[in-house]
Amino acid sequence: MDLALSEEQEAVRRLAEDFVAREVAPHATAWDRAEEVDRGIVKKLGAVGFLGLTIPEEYGGSGGDHLAYCLVTEELGRGDSSVRGIVSVSLGLVAKTIASWGSEEQKRTWLPRLASGEALGCFGLTEPGTGSDAGNLATRAVRDGGDYVVNGTKMFITNGTWADVVLLFARTNDTPGHKGVSAFLVPADTPGLTRRPVHGKLGLRGQATAELVLEDVRVPADAMLGPEGKGFAVAMSALAKGRMSVAAGCVGIARAALDAALRYAGERGQFGKPIASYQLVQELISDISVDVEAARLLTWRVADLIDRGRDFATAASQAKLYASEAAVRAANNALQVFGGYGYIDEYPVGKLVRDARVMTLYEGTSQIQKLIIGRALTGVSAF
Ligand code: FAD
């Protein structure tokens, strides 16, 4: 694995750093308090090419390899995880999945719009009754002539209230478990689809999270993404790559924690000296720095494996597991450096703790990542 960035990758990283400094970081606290990111950010993310990274240029994407995607995601995560999540879902879970599994017509219809930010995507897998056990979902799509009629409820859907297209997973036959699941691309304005905002989240408060209720939603048969009955494979392939993006976002959180802790420790004095001069404070800071570096290396390893066409699913679970736990630890250590001031939202570290916490829960909890890794190593499924 070559750890030196190419000129192109370094240029993308700088572009992301500048973008975040101008368009994201100055607003992050206000968006968090308002429980809404300014929606104009979607067009800006599209204009700068971040919503089309790794999507081929012939479909309106900006190209780039997976390491470039990690660099951008890390910078966005450093600025505001709510904004990072918009990209991780619309590009990482939806557009990239259409690029991998879509028909030529589906690619031409959705990819240029998703890459430019003219349209936003969301990923509808989780349901009120099925989270970790996603293959047992209950939403049903029943064939009726040239259409499917869909009924069910989806829970905690990132970008849900803003999205123009839902990558929706529904059961198309009654085979138990994941075998009867199919994927569909459903325009969000299809009659019968209602979106209810989820308020009161601990973190990622700026993000538009929704419950989706589908009542007799009629979708044409050609809206199916991938073969019938292969929807669970579509979902798992999306999530495997998605985990790299979550991990890169976690590196961003840990870096923000390091920056904040270093700055504050140099400024704050107690017992007549800057707190940075105390060994126990240095321990907190050095622990954060090790978490940044280790999480980044695991994440870049996934990008490297993907770009070389190698198996990456176990490495993606390892990176997501480690980086998400590292982000929680790093943010918590930074809060400790801030003392009581870390506990109020005039300072940035409380938000980092809240934003980091969900990373160990979504796209597979830490327990689920361990089961995936354990299955790969032992050959025995413990699910
Ligand atoms: P459960 O599955 O009920 O798990 C509860 C606990 O049991 C966890 O600790 C879990 O680790 C443990 N557990 C479950 N099964 C096992 C087992 N076999 N062995 C050991 N422990 C086990 N979903 C989407 O589809 N699209 C999205 O865009 C999306 N965005 C989200 C955004 C936010 C802010 C949140 C909070 C969630 C989002 N989710 C989304 C849903 C998320 O992926 C699920 O919450 C997650 O998969 C866990 O499911 P659950 O909440 O039902 O918990």
Q: Is 369 in the pocket of ligand 1 (CB under 6 A)?
A: no
- The percent of residues in the chain predicted with pLDDT above 90, rounded, is 97
* Structure confidence at residue 379 as a pLDDT band (50, 70, 90): very high
pLDDT reported for residue 179 = 85
Atom of ligand 1 nearest to the CA of 89: 28
DSSP state letter for 63 = B
Q: Is 139 in the pocket of ligand 1 (CB under 6 A)?
A: no
Place of tokens 């569909």: 184
* Structure confidence at residue 58 as a pLDDT band (50, 70, 90): very high
Residue 290 confidence (pLDDT) above 90: yes
Residue 347 confidence (pLDDT) above 90: yes
By C-alpha distance, which of 96, 88, 81 is closest to 37?
81
Question: Mean pLDDT across the stretch 231-238?
Answer: 97
Reply yes or no on whether 363 is catalytic: yes
- Which DSSP string do the residues of 94-143 spell out, in sequence order? IIHHHHHH--HHHHHHHHHHHHHTSS-EEEE---SS-STTGGG---EEEE
Residue 101, C-beta contacts closer than 8 angstroms, at least 6 positions apart: 183, 225, 226, 234, 237
In this structure, is the dihedral angle defined by the CA atoms of residues 300, 119, 152 and 198, taken in order, positive or negative?
positive
On average, the pLDDT of the chain sits at 97
Residue 344 confidence (pLDDT) above 90: yes
pLDDT reported for residue 260 = 98
Residue 176 confidence (pLDDT) above 80: no
| Residue 335 near residue 222, CB atoms below 8 Å | no
User: How close is the Cα of 91 to the center of ligand 1, in Å?
Assistant: 21
- Which DSSP string do the residues of 79-99 spell out, in sequence order? H-HHHHHHHIIIIIIIIHHHH
CA distance 227 to 300: 32
pLDDT reported for residue 174 = 81
Q: Which has the higher per-residue pLDDT, 175 or 268?
A: 268
Q: Is 204 in the pocket of ligand 1 (CB under 6 A)?
A: yes
CA distance 258 to 271: 23
Q: Is 157 in the pocket of ligand 1 (CB under 6 A)?
A: yes
pLDDT reported for residue 2 = 78
CA distance 108 to 204: 32
Instruction: Select from 32, 81, 97, 156 the residue to mutate for testing ligand 1; criterion: most ligand atoms less than 8 Å from CB.
Output: 156
User: pLDDT of 299-310, one tens digit each?
Assistant: 999 999 999 999
User: How close is the Cα of 60 to the center of ligand 1, in Å?
Assistant: 33
| Residue 179 near residue 199, CB atoms below 8 Å | no
pLDDT reported for residue 1 = 77
Instruction: Select from 81, 362, 366 the residue to mutate for testing ligand 1; criterion: most ligand atoms less than 8 Å from CB.
Output: 362
